[in-house]
Amino acid sequence: MGRGKTLEQHIAVFGESGSGKTVLMTSWYGVARDIQTASDPLYKVKADNFDLGTKLFQSYLGMKEDSKAPPADRFKATDYSFLVEPRQADSPRATKNREFDNLRLVWHDYPGEWFESAPHTATEQERRIETFQAFLTSNVALLLIDAQKLLANAGQEERYLKSLFDNFERSLEDLEAALTKRGKLSRFPRVWVLGLSKADLIPDLDVCGFRDMLIKKAGREISALRSTIGRLINEPEALAFGEDFVLLSSARFTADAIDVATRKGVDLVLPMAEILPLTRLFDMLRARIMSPEMLA
């Protein structure tokens, strides 16, 4: 256990199977653990479940030392919880003024195949609903768009993008009645970041180019998905879907090597989970304070 007060933040990572979710978490955790034995980093990370932490670190070492990607079915769990302990501040006053001493980051890893197929049995449907409910208590959601699939559809990226957003919308619609059985949801990720996974495969695409491609080629599907999500929740005006974008590369993958030292965006996961929900809340409160009704 860490010392003092702990802020718990949840991040839900959505993406089709093969889109890079497991490798992203492995890279995030592995590098954080790796450097903390060698240096004095800004923060230290520990998996709450010791066995899971060991397996994750083994997977990371497999990538780093043997250039082996983590096997697809290695981790059956969907929730991974980590304690993030920042380095002690130099001045006791800074420590005293901190609202929180530690952060617990919980990753919810959405089983990718749920995007692609409907549940086969009532039990499976039930499990999906339960898992989804846990997902939807997250503070931030990250929806992965796979650079490899964009490349495979070069020139016709809309084919992949439309089907990705449509499938996701459909899986939400399938669960809509069950999710809102007891009324619209109040706890829900307010910030949905669209992330380009495997960004190393398209080195010339910057984050503005990525955003523009999404809006140009799948703007309609993104709006439809935003409305569907809006129907599930209270205060849909506080939803930011598709307003934040990030490029992610968990390592550089070449034909015969995986270079974990060359990454992009992975270090943004923590601040994304920690800061974005707060800035969104701040914007919402500010908009309320400035609204005509409040000023009248």
Ligand X SMILES: Nc1nc2c(ncn2[C@@H]2O[C@H](COP(=O)(O)OP(=O)(O)O)[C@@H](O)[C@H]2O)c(=O)[nH]1
Residue 25 vs 225, nearer CB to Mg ion: 25
Q: Which is nearer to Mg ion, 67 or 78 (CB)?
A: 78
Q: Which residue is nearest to Mg ion (CB)?
A: 22
* C-beta of 52 vs 207, nearer to Mg ion: 52
Q: Does residue 249 interact with ligand X by CB under 6 A?
A: yes
Q: How far is the CB of 187 from Mg ion (least distance, A)?
A: 25
Considering only 253, 260, 270, 274, the residue that binds ligand X (CB under 6 A) is: 253
The distance of closest approach from Cβ of residue 52 to ligand X in the complex, given in angstroms and rounded to an integer, is 15
Residues 3-42, interacting with Mg ion (CB under 5 A) = 21-22
Listed ranges 13-21, 88-96, 100-108, 205-213: which one lies at the site for ligand X (CB under 6 A): 13-21
SS (H, E, C) the chain: CCCCCEEEEEEEEECCCCCCHHHHHHHHHHHHHHHHHHCCCCEEEEECCHHHHHHHHHHHHHHHHHCCCCCCCCCCCCEEEEEEEECCCCCHHHHHHCCCCEEEEEEEECCCHHHHCCCCCHHHHHHHHHHHHHHCCCCEEEEEEEHHHHHHCCCCHHHHHHHHHHHHHHHHHHHHHHHCCCCCECCCCCEEEEEEECHHHCCCCCHHHHHHHHHHHHHHHHHHHHHHHHHHECCHHHCEEEEEEEECECCEECCCCEECCCCECHHHHHHHHHHHHHHHHHHHHHHHHHCHHHHC
| 18 lies in the binding site for ligand X (CB under 6 A) | yes
Q: Among ligand X, Mg ion, none, what binds residue 62 when CB lies within 5 to 8 Å by partner kind?
A: none
Instruction: Check binding of 23 to ligand X (CB under 6 A).
Output: yes
Phi/psi of residue 195, each to 5°? -115, 135
Footprint (CB under 6 A) of ligand X, residues 68-97 = 69-70, 72
How far is it, in rounded angstroms, from Cα 148 to Cα 198? 7
Choices 39-47, 210-218, 243-251, 275-283; region in contact with ligand X by CB under 6 A: 243-251
User: Which of ligand X, Mg ion, none does 198 bind, CB closer than 5 to 8 A by kind?
Assistant: ligand X
Cβ closest to ligand X, residue 70 vs residue 277: 70
If the CB atoms of residues 36 and 167 are measured against Mg ion, the closer one turns out to be: 167
Q: Which residues bind Mg ion (CB under 5 A)?
A: 21-22
Q: Which residues bind ligand X (CB under 6 A)?
A: 15, 17-23, 69-70, 72, 112, 198, 200-201, 249-251, 253
